[in-house]
Amino acid sequence: MNAAAYWKKLRAIGWLDYLPEEQHADVRETLERNLAAKVARCAHVALAQTACESDDSPEDMLRLLAKCSNGVFAPAKIAFDGTLLSFTHGGKNYAATVPESGEWAGTDVFDLANQALADSKIAQRFIELPDTPDFVGLVFVPPDIYAKAQQANLIPSKYRVDVCLVDSAAALKVASLKKIPAHVPKVFMWDMTKEQFAELLQMMGVNAKIKLRSIFNDPSTRRTVLELPSDASETLAKLPKATISEAAKKWMALSDADGSYFDGCMDLLWDRMYRVSELAQEADGEKIVLFFLKGV
């Protein structure tokens, strides 16, 4: 697909109705550059209307979201005390506990902003784009328009994969929540297709004979929670660092055929896979490992 065809599809699904006209030229130019460089898998990154970095504070993220929305999202009285983020919007107060320093707070910030938009009957939402590993790119469009872009193959249909360790007695309750509670030990692995997820597990020693058990599934929100059986936990817990490193290298080579990931991605994936192995080491029957797959 060339840039003209991509742009035509964006217009047909109504995406351009929500992209400020002053951004059209830049987006088209970036699309043309990405597609000409044969980085077709990442062509959609051109759609990002703003980007958050790992060291952005929760207050800075809110201000970036407000600017991205051209004032549609207008938080006031923004405050952050190191743990609690709060603001007002549309005459209502909003507050949420965000992760401690060192953990990515973006998802909690975006969720809180989107709740304010929903309460104000605003159609658009802040949605994270997949496959932007060196920054978090966001768009500001209605969820149904975003879904149409995925159906038209303009944006990859992937899943955010988070892994956490929970008390087995509370597993079903945690699985039904919209997000993993802040106090639960967790690791964000990557955005990937279900096929890539299966390949990664296999490379880590979880083969076809060891099936993950689905304990929650909601097709309407593309959320699935899978329980790692005890024998698979034992396999992951015993993985040598060299095996994890080789699995990360092999998976990245298969998933990044066009070479569009930045240089540090493999080390980042290796670190996350090793942290998943550490979670598995703590699984003992009373505590179990869950994989959260959320459509992005």
CA distance 32 to 6: 10
Class of domain 159-295: alpha beta
Q: What is the pLDDT of residue 34?
A: 81
Cα distances from 143 to residues 59, 123, 133, 157, 220, in angstroms, run: 24, 8, 22, 13, 12
Intervals of CATH 3.30.160 along the chain: 50-128
User: Alpha helix locations (H) across the chain?
Assistant: 3-13, 24-36, 58-68, 106-119, 143-151, 171-175, 194-203, 230-237, 241-255, 265-282
Q: What is the pLDDT of residue 74?
A: 96
Q: What is the mean pLDDT of each run of 10 residues along the chain (296 residues)?
A: 92 96 92 73 84 86 94 94 92 86 76 94 92 78 92 85 92 88 85 83 74 81 86 87 88 66 71 90 90 85
Q: What is the pLDDT of residue 138?
A: 92
Q: Which two tokens stand for residue 219?
A: 């097709």
Question: Which of 236, 211, 227 is closest to 292 using CA atoms?
Answer: 227
Domain 50-128 in CATH 3.30.160? The answer is yes
Question: Which of 99, 244, 59, 83 is closest to 185 using CA atoms?
Answer: 99
Cα distances from 40 to residues 29, 35, 253, in angstroms, run: 14, 5, 16
Is the Cβ–Cβ distance between 155 and 44 less than 8 Å? Answer: yes
CA distance 171 to 182: 15
Q: Which two tokens stand for residue 20?
A: 């400020």
SS3 content of the chain, % helix, strand, coil (to 5): 45, 20, 35
CA distance 90 to 95: 14
| C-alpha angle 130-95-75 in degrees, rounded to nearest 5 | 75
Intervals of CATH 3.40.1760 along the chain: 159-295
